[in-house]
């Protein structure tokens, strides 16, 4: 009886191991498929970014909508590497989406090939013979970048942490703009609604656009 039980146990172990190895093969194949899918989406996103200047706003919006569906339909990766790659892809997509909605972000893009505001300020800093003036320009540039980052953070529903780091002057400007458009709603009530968060981001970017035209920069 003991021997029969031993034989049966060995058979069961063999079946279990076979099933385990089959499952591992399935997971490995699924991960390879997902890795290729993420790589393809990375390339597609780069192609879209390059071609945006040649597309109409409607064409861009359509492509962004389709791309979003593809990204968020990806299965959850089971490895840290693929989780990181998918997270990077989502971040790149969200930044491109924000840039499309608010084109002024290109003025602060360090990778831009255009003679943008960031380049002009950095050139002023480089040419300045006055350390205090150069330091003031650096602080101004840093403030613009922080304001842009805060708007993008809110636009994608990531909270108000960046906004609360901005100056009281900017808060008053942004909240004044919001009050003009939504007199029946408070800033706090808008911040709890997805549509309200988009409106807050838009007000921050409108304020930023005015600040970028300051003669001090």
Q: How many Å is the maximal CA-CA distance in the chain?
A: 96
Specify whether 76 is located in the same domain as 123. no
Specify whether 73 is located in the same domain as 138. no
Range of the domain at 66: 2-101
Specify whether 59 is located in the same domain as 18. yes
Cα-flanking dihedrals φ and ψ of residue 189, to 5°? -70, -40
Q: Is the pLDDT of residue 7 over 60?
A: no
Report CA-CA distances (Å) from 76 to 20, 82, 158, 169.
21, 9, 20, 43
- Domain end among 48, 74, 101: 101
Q: Is the pLDDT of residue 20 over 80?
A: no
Measured between alpha carbons, how far is 113 from 111 in angstroms, rounded to an integer? 7
**Arithmetic mean of pLDDT, 29-58:** 90
Specify whether 87 is located in the same domain as 118. no
Q: Which residues lie below 8 Å from residue 160, measured CB to CB, with a gap of 6+?
A: 153, 154, 191
Specify whether 112 is located in the same domain as 50. no
Give per-residue pLDDT as tens, 102-123.
Answer: 999 999 988 877 789 999 999 9
pLDDT band at 2 (very low <50, low <70, confident <90, very high): very low
Q: Which parts of 102-130 fold into alpha helices (H)?
A: 117-127
- Give DSSP secondary structure letters for 44-88: HHHHHHHHGGGS-HHHHHHHHHHHHHHHHTSPPPSSHHHHHHHHH
Measured between alpha carbons, how far is 180 from 69 in angstroms, rounded to an integer? 35
The predicted pLDDT at position 187 comes to: 96
The reply to whether 217 falls in a domain is no
**HSE (CB half, 13 Å, CA atoms) of 185?**
16
**Arithmetic mean of pLDDT, 160-183:** 96
Of the candidates 125, 151, 133, the residue with the CA atom closest to the CA atom of residue 204: 151
Specify whether 114 is located in the same domain as 205. yes
The predicted pLDDT at position 19 comes to: 59
**Arithmetic mean of pLDDT, 126-134:** 91
The count of residues in the chain is 217
The predicted pLDDT at position 21 comes to: 54
- Domain end among 101, 135, 162: 101
pTM, two decimal places? 0.79
Q: Is the pLDDT of residue 27 over 80?
A: no
Domain count, the chain: 2
Specify whether 76 is located in the same domain as 118. no
pLDDT band at 215 (very low <50, low <70, confident <90, very high): low
CA-atom Rg of the chain in angstroms? 26
Ranking 76-80, 112-116, 136-140, 169-173 by mean pLDDT, the lowest is: 112-116
Specify whether 118 is located in the same domain as 97. no
Tokens of 144: 């613009």
Specify whether 13 is located in the same domain as 91. yes
């Amino acid at each position: 009886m003991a021997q029969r039980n031993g034989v049966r146990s060995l058979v069961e172990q063999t079946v279990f191991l076979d099933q385990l190895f089959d499952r591992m093969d399935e997971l490995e194949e699924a991960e390879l498929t997902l890795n290729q899918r993420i790589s393809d989406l990375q390339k597609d996103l780069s192609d879209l970014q390059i071609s945006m200047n040649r597309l109409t706003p409607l064409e861009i919006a359509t492509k962004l909508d389709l791309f979003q569906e593809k990204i968020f339909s990806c299965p959850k990766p089971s490895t840290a590497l693929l989780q990181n790659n998918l997270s990077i892809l989502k971040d790149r997509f969200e930044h491109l989406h924000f840039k499309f909605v608010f084109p002024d972000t290109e003025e602060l893009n360090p990778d831009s090939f255009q003679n943008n505001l960031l380049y002009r300020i950095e050139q002023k800093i480089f040419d300045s013979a006055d350390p205090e003036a150069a330091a003031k320009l650096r602080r101004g540039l840093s403030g613009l970048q922080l304001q842009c980052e805060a708007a993008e953070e809110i636009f994608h529903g990531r909270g108000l942490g960046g906004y609360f780091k901005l100056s009281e002057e900017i808060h008053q400007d942004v909240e004044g703009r919001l009050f003009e458009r939504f007199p029946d709603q408070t800033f706090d009530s808008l911040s709890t609604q997805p549509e309200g968060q988009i409106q807050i981001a838009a007000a921050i970017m409108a304020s930023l656009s005015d600040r970028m035209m300051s003669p001090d920069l």
